[in-house]
Copies of this chain bind each other. A is one copy, B any other.
Amino acid sequence: MLPDQTGSNALTTPALLLDEARMMRNITRLAKRAEDLGVSLRPHMKTAKSTEIARRVTGAVPGPITVSTLAEVEVFHAAGHADILYAVGIAPQKLARVKALRERRCDLVVILDSAVQARAVVAAGVPALIEIDSDGHRGGLVPGDPALVGIGRILHAGGCLRGVMTHAGESYTVRGTAAHADFADRERGAAVTAAEALRAAGLPCPVVSVGSTPTAHAARDLTGVTELRAGVYMFFDLVMAGIGVCTLDDIALSVLTTVIGHQSAKGWVMVDAGWMALSRDRGTAAQDVDQGYGLVCDAQGRVVPDLIVSSANQEHGILSLRPGAAGRLPDLPVGTPLRILPNHACATAAQYSAYNVIPSTPGAPLRIWPRFGGW
């Protein structure tokens, strides 16, 4: 339940809302899966970027995490997380900062896929995972690449070889558990094959790290894998609902907005959440159901059937019924508060400096959890 939005305690809209009960349910769901699969979980904090949320994901003792920026390393390390994977191919220019963090007792590990990077991390004394390409999505070596063992040797000679990692980003483009499980098999197959190639060459490969939100929720078997990574699952979003990883009722993040006008002849309702509030992400555009810039709910979070943000300017959203919808546009007078479910939680959350947290305890006041950005 959202506190009253008509009084003086009303939030300034647009504002980012986080439903704590839904988030905790999502966190518990994947923690249970990892346990059942016999792997450790290294949650990716790139979506949340909040120490409050990291604490709820990894437990009372700050645990292992994955991050996407060195700014995240610095903030989460200051909050007690000392086992961190920076999962973006390392630029040599960043190694001085990485080294400084390691000297402050942060076991920060980087990733790479080239000999030039391997030589740079060895020179800096920074441990690394070799990135493996399991689906052609972006970086990494295919498991059979002859360069793999060479890079492994460079790292091992410098005492910097920690293992291998892969991420099946293409799993976001297919729908359903079976399809996601197939991508999970590809992640496992690629990472384990690469690990075995290193071991066959006499190199150690203690870490075999895989994951994405769709594959983590669908994997049938992770034999040979040591850890699982996923990030957006804490909040979920319309893209994840569109590919069947969650339901709309699992989406913990929404944007609170206010009706500011109408163009009745066009069937438009104007709100004060534009793309600055929602992000420019149109991740559902290529899915079976295009949700525009977001799906509209009432202030309590109940979906308004077929009402979407069909267009967005910087600070204006235009709501209309989705093409072909049978219903009628509801009466939404100026001043009506609404919530919008985001296409992509990572992109929408990034537009805000705080979460307004609807607590699990009914009737308890909203809490504010800071959120950070930057690099």
Contact = CB atoms under 8 A, between A and B. Distances in A.
A261 B373 contact: no
Interface residues of A, number: 65
Contacts of A259: 91
Contacts of A113: 261
A256 to B, nearest CB: 11
A92 interface: yes
Interface string A173-216: 00000000000000000000000000000000000000000000
A272 to B, nearest CB: 6
Contacts of A262: 114
Q: Main SS of chain A's interface residues? A: loop
A23 interface: no
A314 interface: yes
B374 A139 contact: no
A138 B334 contact: no
Interface in A255-290: 258-263, 266, 270, 272, 275-277, 279-282
Interface stretch (A29-37, A54-62, A343-351, A359-367): A343-351
A282 B112 CA distance: 29
A315 B46 contact: yes
18 contacts: A12-B94, A14-B375, A15-B375, A88-B272, A88-B316, A90-B260, A92-B334, A114-B261, A114-B262, A117-B260, A117-B261, A138-B313, A139-B261, A276-B346, A280-B282, A280-B347, A351-B373, A353-B374
Contact of A89 (B15, B139, B270): B270
Nearest to A333: B116
Contacts of A117: 260-261, 334
Nearest to A93: B10
Interface string A315-357: 1101000000000000001110000000000110011110000
A69 interface: yes
Given A258-B91, A280-B347, A315-B69, A13 B335 contact: no
Given A260-B90, A270-B139, A272-B88, A374 B352 contact: yes
A68 B314 contact: yes
A130 to B, nearest CB: 12
Of the candidates A169, A316, A318, A352, the one having the most CB atoms from chain B within 10 angstroms of its own CB is: A316
A302 interface: no
Nearest to A353: B374
